[in-house]
Structure 1
Amino acid sequence: MNHMKRFQGIPMSKSMRGLCKEEDYTFLAPSEKITVGTAQGALEDDWRDKKEDRVRRRLERERVEQERLREMEELKKEKEQQWRTHVETLTSSQEKTLQDRLARLRRFREFQKKVLGEESGMEGGGANQPASHQDVDS
């Protein structure tokens, strides 16, 4: 019935209206389909565009998240490497300090033995004293 209202809205004479009824019906039927189809097509295009936009935004979020995770992983690896370097440096300096202390202790022990040997030699006899002084002076 909608086509009757549309057809009546077209200005023409009564005689012309009688001649054109069938043609108008055939003309109006496709135009209604076109407008309905155009509206549906526009809705489908709009829906498709929105869906593509949602997919694009989701992919962008996933890409940003992957990049953020990769950066965090790199930062974590860098910090671990810095920590290892720090520990190696600290260990190396401690080992060097211990080696230096060991060397000083050995020199001190040798010095003590030498001094104790000289003192015990002095107590044992006075003749050895000039010989040991001569060795020191030389």
Structure 2
Amino acid sequence: MTHVKRFQGIPMSKSMRGLCKEEDYAFLGTSEETTKEGTEGAEALEDNSGDKEEERVQRQLQREQQEKERLRDIEESKQEKERQWRTHVAELTSSQKTLQDRLERLRKFREFQKKVLEEESGLEGEAGSLTVNQLLTRM
């Protein structure tokens, strides 16, 4: 009758309990022996799972570190591109300023040439300036 107390926790109908005998549960006695061996194996698995947990944590830290490095590299490349763009814009602005200065000097020189030609030719008025413009164009 010890088997009745022992296996009382197993859910089954009353009629089924009556039909079952101790021999039917003999396999459960062998399972106790395997349970003892299983606890030893479980301890080994816990140790192994602890190692796996540490490895997983290490891999996660490495991934986080690589992500930080990647983001830092991206930020540095953005700053470098921005610096290059500013340098380029500054060069364009200075060259444009230089071109505008040259254009202004050429206009002043043309006006000077026109004035000198008008004085030398002695032509004044619209007819004279038209003739001077034609001469300047030929030059």
- Of residues 51, 54, 57 in structure 1, which corresponds to 2:68? 57
Point out where structure 1 has 5 or more consecutive residues left out of the alignment. 1-18, 112-138
Question: Where does 1:89-100 land on structure 2 (aligned, <5 Å)?
Answer: 89-100=100-111
Residue in structure 1 matched with residue 116 of structure 2 by the alignment: 105
Corresponding residue number in structure 1 for 2:49:
38
The code of the aligned residue for 1:106 comes to L
**Residues in 1 aligned to 2:77 and 2:41: alpha-carbon distance in whole angstroms:** 52
Question: Offset of 1:20 from its aligned partner?
Answer: 9.2
Tell me the TM-score normalized by structure 2. Answer: 0.59
CA distance in 2, matches of 1:51, 1:92: 61
Percent identity reads 9
Partner in structure 2 of residue 47 of structure 1? 58
Kindly provide the CA deviation profile for residues 29-87 of structure 1, in whole angstroms up to 9, marking residues without a partner as x. 21111211121111011000000001111111111111111111111111111111111
Residue of structure 1 in register with 2:81 after alignment: 70
Amino acid aligned to 1:65? E
Q: Give the Å deviation of 1:25.
A: 4.2
Aligned-partner SS, 1:79: helix
Which residue pairs with 2:25 in the alignment?
none
Query: Which consecutive aligned stretches of 4+ in structure 1 deviate over 3 angstroms post-superposition?
Result: 19-25
- Runs (5+) with no aligned partner, structure 2: 1-29, 123-139
**Structure 1 residues 77-135: Cα deviation after superposition (integer angstroms, max 9, x where no partner):** 11111111111111000010011112112222334xxxxxxxxxxxxxxxxxxxxxxxx
Equivalent pairs counted in the alignment come to: 93
Counterpart CA distance in 1 for 2:65 and 2:59 is 10
